[in-house]
Structure 1
């Protein structure tokens, strides 16, 4: 069974057993269980149900495998002939979650 979920402003198409990377959930530890109740679409084939905007009574249970940081993104700023050069960086905080079950 497939489900289209929305979490933290992003949409994912998931099935049971999928591992996805999302923005870090605050105050979460590895091993915690997360229930995602913003399900936009659930089912497969002719048995698909669509929500308006969310399917009532449907949710997805997921387990947090780890919290980590993504690769560094380097930002360069420069104004030519002005002697202005700046280099900064950013590392996004991520949670790696595994989809355990889809309840429709």
Structure 2
């Protein structure tokens, strides 16, 4: 990720498998699903907390969407907007402190 050499991008949730991790329904059942992205970066994670992001269990932030003040503070608005336009869906990002999160978060795909 530009300017953040420690950052690794990950896509997770139903967009990876085609089915909801919790309910088992297909990706767009009941409406248009969003894309859930993760960025694993100790530096961005710390910056997000400093900017006021809520922290969740497992060393991750609350979801950050394009309209949030946190996205503005971390300069994530442009990438969230671009990804939303490309995919035609809402996109949110959660920042993770390290890689210990994914064994318990379901299927994922590391993005280039």
Query: Taking structure 2 as the reference length, what is the TM-score of the superposition?
Result: 0.25
Query: Taking structure 1 as the reference length, what is the TM-score of the superposition?
Result: 0.26
In terms of fraction of residues, the more helix-rich structure is: 2
| Larger Cα-atom Rg | 1
